């Protein structure tokens, strides 16, 4: 599977959802996740993310391993998103900020 990681939080550009052939993205208030049961590892979304938040399961950056379980968990309760929406208002400001996990809204 592929995994959405920390840098998506408070950015949420949603370019990723437009290319997903299996509609496996789910939307929360300030973050998106990938349903690991639906993702077919096509890799199309990786290049689409303007803030490089999406990784293959085996390439998740050190320290961001918790996002594997988080994607699986939140995909179960958040609705599917398949059409791009505007990025979060301060997306540019939040790109690359550390320790965004504590800001995740469920
Ligand atoms: Fe997030 Fe990047 Fe998609 S910021 S919503 S993973 S395009």
pLDDT tens, residue by residue, 54-69: 999 999 999 999 999 9
| CB 16 less than 6 A from any atom of ligand 1 | yes
Report the alpha-carbon angle 83-73-69, nearest 5.
110
Q: How many domains does the chain divide into? A: 1
pLDDT of 23 reads 98
In a domain, 68, yes or no: yes
In a domain, 98, yes or no: no
Query: Nearest C-alpha to atom 7 of ligand 1 is from which residue?
Result: 49
CATH number of the CATH domain containing 46: 3.30.70.20
Q: How far apart are the first and last CA of the chain?
A: 22
Pocket test for ligand 1, best of 19, 49, 85 (most atoms within 8 A of CB): 49
In a domain, 51, yes or no: yes
In a domain, 91, yes or no: no
Cα separation values, 66 from 7, 25, 47, 61, 104, Å: 13, 18, 22, 11, 13
Using the atom order of ligand 1, give the atom closest to the CA of residue 4. 6
Contact 6, 53 (CB under 8 A): yes
Query: Which two tokens mark 11?
Result: 């950015």
Per-residue pLDDT of the chain (106 residues; tens, 9 = 90+): 999 999 999 999 999 999 999 999 999 999 999 999 999 999 999 999 999 999 999 999 999 999 999 999 999 999 999 999 999 999 999 999 999 999 999 9
In a domain, 11, yes or no: yes
């Amino acid at each position: 599977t592929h995994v959405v990681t920390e840098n998506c939080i408070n950015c949420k550009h949603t370019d990723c959802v437009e290319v997903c052939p299996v509609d496996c993205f789910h939307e929360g208030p300030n973050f998106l996740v990938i349903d690991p049961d639906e993702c077919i590892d096509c890799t199309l979304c990786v290049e689409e993310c303007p803030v490089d938040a999406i990784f293959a399961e085996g390439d998740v950056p050190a320290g961001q391993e918790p996002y594997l379980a988080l994607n699986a968990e939140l995909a179960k309760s958040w609705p599917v998103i398949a059409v791009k929406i505007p990025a979060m208002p301060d997306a540019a400001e939040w790109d690359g900020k550390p320790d965004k996990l504590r800001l995740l809204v469920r």
